[in-house]
């Protein structure tokens, strides 16, 4: 089965071996306060920094999902309000959660064919956290490094948090240009669901300590205090942390992965731009995602394409949110091989050219 679903997505084939190795090494039944786990956790933190170009002085935490990160950040870094800039379902959901926890949270929606409108932002001075989604998995758009830099320059004194769930471990993100980044591992990391990585700047941790919010098992200060000893507040997903360690050791550095993914994204956009029955959902090339492509057609054709593909053992991604029925999505994740995209292209040429 070829799997182009944008999460949970295709696993690295090596995961099969890592799984049995984890069993053999006895890590899965080891206590999470013991030396074996601490050693594993320390190694993974080091590998994440080295392999993904995360600054040495940033802090890394393990959580169970990106959704959990949304909640942790609002709980532990805002007393009054966050500001959310979004153009799709994931960014909007984060904003909806924020409003439930802090009723004054504010949001600004922008068009999927426009860059994130940094110049037009009106973020009040009592805003504690600016939130946006680097790669909006629901519609196949992304916020460019330049736009993130502009935001950083315009709001230097406000903490910024970035949902990078479908780009971390695929793109060479400039972590220094924002305070908080997070991603769950069932997208670009090519691992099974149930683990997320939360990356925080020293400034973000300083703020968390100042706020000292201690009402939740996943309060950021608790996580920080445990992580000083490479431990977690609760029994973590040891298996997935182990898989993450092995995956990071075996992969290239992020700079190379980014180059390869970008090349392949360009090829895929060129290829999928040539059809007449369906078209790329995002017209503005500048804001197209490098890791998730969204294709638009009438609802019947979308159904037909997905069904026919499945019949040929190709799993395409369903549309999401408002684009659920009139789009399908294709992941461009590192765990998927070039030859698999060649097969995908042959399928489309055969039936839809
Ligand atoms: C998949 C996804 C999420 C949700 O991830 P979970 O691990 O299910 O919480 C959040 N944000 C983005 C951008 C995503 O792609």
Average confidence (pLDDT) over 4-27: 97
Average confidence (pLDDT) over 274-287: 97
Closest protein CA for atom 14 of ligand 1: 165
Q: What is the pLDDT of residue 204?
A: 98
Question: 189 falls in which pLDDT band (50, 70, 90)?
Answer: very high
Q: What is the pLDDT of residue 25?
A: 96
DSSP-based three-state secondary structure for 313? coil
Q: What is the pLDDT of residue 65?
A: 98
Q: Is the CB of 133 inside a 6 Å radius of any atom of ligand 1?
A: yes
Q: How far is the CA of 90 from the centre of ligand 1 (A)?
A: 7
Q: What is the pLDDT of residue 329?
A: 98
Same structural domain, 221 and 238: yes
Same structural domain, 309 and 222: no
Candidates 158, 156, 151, 119; CA nearest to 133 is 151
Same structural domain, 173 and 299: no
Name 241's Cβ contacts closer than 8 Å, sequence gap at least 6: 40, 41, 44, 62, 195
Q: What is the pLDDT of residue 251?
A: 95
Q: What is the pLDDT of residue 139?
A: 98
Last residue of one domain, picked from the residues 197, 220, 250: 250
Q: Is the CB of 132 inside a 6 Å radius of any atom of ligand 1?
A: no
Closest protein CA for atom 5 of ligand 1: 66
Q: What is the pLDDT of residue 159?
A: 98
Question: 201 falls in which pLDDT band (50, 70, 90)?
Answer: very high
**Is the N-terminal amide bond of 152 cis, ω within 30° of 0?**
no
* Cα 43 from Cα 242, distance rounded (Å): 10
Same structural domain, 135 and 147: yes
Does the predicted TM-score (pTM) go above 0.95?
A: yes
Identify the helix (H) or strand (E) that includes residue 2.
strand 2-3
Same structural domain, 120 and 213: yes
Q: What is the pLDDT of residue 274?
A: 96
Q: How many domains are there within the chain?
A: 2
Same structural domain, 181 and 278: no
Q: Is the CB of 166 inside a 6 Å radius of any atom of ligand 1?
A: yes
Phi, psi of 53 (to 5 degrees): 60, 45
Which residue among 69, 90, 135, 171 is best mutated to probe the pocket of ligand 1, counting the most ligand atoms within 8 A of its Cβ? 90
Residue 78's CATH number: 3.40.640.10
Question: Is 105 within 8 Å of 81 (Cβ atoms)?
Answer: yes
pLDDT in tens, 53-77: 999 999 999 999 999 999 999 999 9
Q: How many CB atoms lie within 10 A of CB 28?
A: 12
Q: How far is the CA of 7 from the centre of ligand 1 (A)?
A: 8
Same structural domain, 152 and 180: yes
Same structural domain, 213 and 297: no
DSSP string, 283-302: --GGGB-SSEEEEE--HHHH
Q: Is the CB of 66 inside a 6 Å radius of any atom of ligand 1?
A: yes
DSSP string, 169-217: TTB---GGGSSEEEEETTSTT---SS-EEEEE-HHHHHHHHHHT--SST
Question: 327 falls in which pLDDT band (50, 70, 90)?
Answer: very high
pLDDT in tens, 22-58: 999 999 999 999 999 999 999 999 999 999 999 999 9
* Cα 121 from Cα 329, distance rounded (Å): 30
Ordered alpha helix ranges (H), 53-88? 66-77
Last residue of one domain, picked from the residues 205, 231, 250: 250
Name 307's Cβ contacts closer than 8 Å, sequence gap at least 6: none
Q: Is the CB of 192 inside a 6 Å radius of any atom of ligand 1?
A: no
Q: Is the CB of 7 inside a 6 Å radius of any atom of ligand 1?
A: yes
Name 170's Cβ contacts closer than 8 Å, sequence gap at least 6: 187, 188, 257, 258, 261, 290, 291, 332, 333, 334
Same structural domain, 286 and 238: no
Q: How far is the CA of 220 from the centre of ligand 1 (A)?
A: 19
What is the signed CA dihedral for 228, 230, 235, 236, rounded to 10 degrees?
Answer: 120
Residue 214 CB burial class (10 angstroms; 0-12, 13-18, ≥19): exposed
Last residue of one domain, picked from the residues 250, 280, 315: 250
| Residue 263 domain boundaries | 2-8+253-352
Report the nearest atom of ligand 1 relative to the CA of 7.
1
* Cα 73 from Cα 180, distance rounded (Å): 9
What are 46's two structure tokens?
């080091």
Same structural domain, 233 and 325: no
Q: Is the CB of 331 inside a 6 Å radius of any atom of ligand 1?
A: no
Rounded mean pLDDT of the chain?
98
Report the nearest atom of ligand 1 relative to the CA of 67.
9
Share above pLDDT 70 across residues of the chain, in percent, rounded to a whole number: 100
Same structural domain, 257 and 207: no
Question: 131 falls in which pLDDT band (50, 70, 90)?
Answer: very high
Q: What is the pLDDT of residue 87?
A: 98
Report the nearest atom of ligand 1 relative to the CA of 69.
9
Q: What is the pLDDT of residue 129?
A: 98
Q: What is the pLDDT of residue 90?
A: 98
Q: Is the CB of 165 inside a 6 Å radius of any atom of ligand 1?
A: yes
Q: What is the DSSP letter of 41?
A: H
Same structural domain, 19 and 141: yes
Which residue among 66, 319, 332 is best mutated to probe the pocket of ligand 1, counting the most ligand atoms within 8 A of its Cβ? 66
Question: 309 falls in which pLDDT band (50, 70, 90)?
Answer: very high
pLDDT in tens, 144-157: 999 999 999 999 99
Name 103's Cβ contacts closer than 8 Å, sequence gap at least 6: none
Q: How far is the CA of 309 from the centre of ligand 1 (A)?
A: 25
């Amino acid at each position: 089965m070829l799997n182009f679903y944008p999460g949970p997505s295709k696993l690295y084939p090596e995961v099969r071996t890592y799984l049995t190795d984890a069993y053999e090494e006895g890590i899965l039944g080891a206590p999470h306060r013991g030396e074996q786990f601490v050693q594993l956790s320390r190694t993974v933190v080091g590998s994440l920094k080295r392999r993904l170009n995360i600054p040495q002085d940033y802090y890394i935490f393990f959580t169970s999902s990106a959704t959990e990160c949304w909640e942790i950040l609002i709980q532990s870094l805002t007393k009054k309000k966050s500001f959310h800039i979004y153009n799709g379902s994931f960014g909007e959901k984060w904003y909806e959660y924020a409003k439930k926890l802090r009723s004054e949270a504010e949001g600004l929606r922008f068009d999927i064919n426009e860059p994130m409108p940094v110049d037009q932002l009106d973020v009040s001075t009592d805003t504690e956290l600016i939130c946006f989604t680097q790669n909006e998995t629901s519609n196949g758009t992304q916020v460019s490094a330049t736009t993130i830099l502009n935001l950083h320059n315009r709001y230097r004194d406000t903490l910024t948090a970035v949902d990078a769930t479908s780009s971390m471990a695929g793109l060479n993100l400039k972590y220094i240009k924002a305070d908080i980044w997070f991603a769950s591992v069932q997208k670009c990391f090519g691992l099974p669901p149930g683990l997320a990585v939360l990356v925080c700047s020293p400034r973000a941790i300083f703020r968390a300590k100042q706020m000292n919010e201690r009402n939740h098992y996943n309060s950021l200060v608790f996580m920080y205090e445990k992580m000083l000893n490479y431990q977690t507040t609760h029994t973590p997903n040891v298996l997935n942390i182990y898989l993450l360690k092995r995956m990071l050791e075996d992969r290239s550095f992020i700079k190379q992965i980014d180059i390869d993914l970008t090349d392949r994204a360009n090829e895929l956009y060129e290829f999928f731009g040539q059809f007449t029955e369906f078209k790329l959902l995002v017209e503005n090339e500048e804001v197209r995602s490098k890791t998730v492509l969204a294709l638009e057609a009438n609802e019947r054709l979308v159904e037909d394409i997905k069904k026919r593909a499945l019949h040929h053992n190709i799993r395409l991604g369903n549309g999401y949110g408002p684009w659920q029925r009139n789009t399908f999505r294709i992941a461009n994740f590192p765990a998927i091989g070039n030859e698999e995209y060649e097969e995908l292209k042959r399928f489309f040429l055969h039936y839809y050219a």
